[in-house]
Structure 1
């Protein structure tokens, strides 16, 4: 058998941790010297120690670890838990990265406050447009919510259009509408054909609008600065928004979004 110090070294844990596991009943020593109180462990207990550490690092509480071990979890089940936890951590990392990108975008907007050039805004009529579209739901209007939803929608829409023998008739377009606290995201392509049976996409006629527009250059994660410029122009010129906001992707680079060119269109009316 091994002393607690040697067992700690072999298990790559601290003596303090082993004492805590003993106190909570998670890993009781194989033997305790009655006179000295020294704890001794055997090699077979390393297997239980490995499971304790693995489950704890997966995010389980010590009480949950104890329950799982009492149910005699096998290696296959532990591997399944690891895969699930890995997926959860990857999702959390992606969410954290998106939040950080959102904070950076907001900071860039804050840094440019007072320097918005509303001369870039153009008021113009936008003709009615027929589009084929897919729709999905995002948790909010922020880029961190919109981008993960809308980006994969266009390749899927292109695939469905090709399968239906429909050729796009212009640049991609997106528009948004509220859905309670969430947002319905519409990803569309102009088409010259009407709806027909068997199509796995919708065909929608967007109405003509009078729109305040601005051309946004760069990543759509930075679009909020351009939207604030539009908002300033709309307010300064006595207009108010009506209908849905649209984005027309004049130069779309899915692999290099920082090179994108997008016209933002906000339908407005006087007064």
Structure 2
């Protein structure tokens, strides 16, 4: 048996960490002297401590370590594979952040940070569409809705127009990080019979739509909305109303170079009379 100081030296783990593992329940001493309060550890606990340190150093939190220790013999490999996937996803996100920083640094060096989009006003007519509307985890999952819609149209021999004006409608009135309400609309020649979530309908005419063409990768879309903010500040007789739309004129299905993508953002507005005081 070893007192906590001795156990710390033998395992090369600080007393502070041993006390923390005691408090969290990961590794409790085998005995606490009722008179001195000394924590006493056994040699049999050293392999358990090594497992805790290994799991900690590979990204497991306290609750995950607890589960993994209890299930070590049966499925530690599954726990490690799950953590491996989480770390790979995290690395991908961090790499995307680094890429954005690299682009920003280059743009600052070249004095060319700007939003490459033009704002214009136009009227949007009503369209006959086959649509699919659903709550999806986030905006990046929109592609799955389009795939479902295209597969349904192909399976049911739906006649599509060649206008290339298929669009998405975002029904949430504000931006959301998750559980977004998106409707993808495929322009068709004729109204057919709806089935389940797949609906034939006519979209509403929009008298005044502020439109902006955003060039380049999809990452440019978010900052592209900044151009709308500047435009609305300069044209305060207009007020946003209704649901935003988005048309991807050129994307991964018809353009290999992301720098040549072309996305049209549409925001409906109403004109209000300004009172001169």
Aligned residue pairs total 234
Return the offset for 1:175. 1.7
Return the offset for 1:127. 1.0
Give the secondary-structure state (helix, strand or coil) at the position aligned to 2:12.
Answer: helix
Q: Structure 2: which 5+ residue stretches go unaligned?
A: 1-9, 30-41, 273-277
TM-score (norm: length of structure 2)? 0.64
Once residues 19 and 133 of structure 1 are traced to their aligned partners in structure 2, the CA distance between those partners, rounded to angstroms, is 63
Aligned to 2:119: 121
Offset from partner CA, 1:56-108 (integer Å, 9 cap, x none): 335143x8746754x4x344411121233233334444555566678889997
Return the offset for 1:151. 2.6
Give the secondary-structure state (helix, strand or coil) at the position aligned to 1:192.
Answer: coil
Aligned to 2:270: 269
Closer, same or farther in 2 for the Cα pair 1:100/1:126, shift >3 Å? farther
Aligned to 1:260: 261
Once residues 234 and 186 of structure 1 are traced to their aligned partners in structure 2, the CA distance between those partners, rounded to angstroms, is 26
Closer, same or farther in 2 for the Cα pair 1:166/1:58, shift >3 Å? same
Once residues 60 and 67 of structure 2 are traced to their aligned partners in structure 1, the CA distance between those partners, rounded to angstroms, is 14
Offset from partner CA, 1:24-70 (integer Å, 9 cap, x none): 68599xxxxxxxxxxx97xx999756644443335143x8746754x
Aligned to 1:55: 55
| Range moving further from structure 2, 226-235 or 160-169 | 226-235
Aligned to 2:188: 191
Aligned to 1:156: 148
Work out whether residues 248 and 262 of structure 1, in 8 Å CA contact, stay in contact via their aligned partners in 2: yes
**Matched ranges for 1:60-71 at <5 A:** 60-61=61-62, 65=65, 69=69, 71=70
Return the offset for 1:265. 1.7
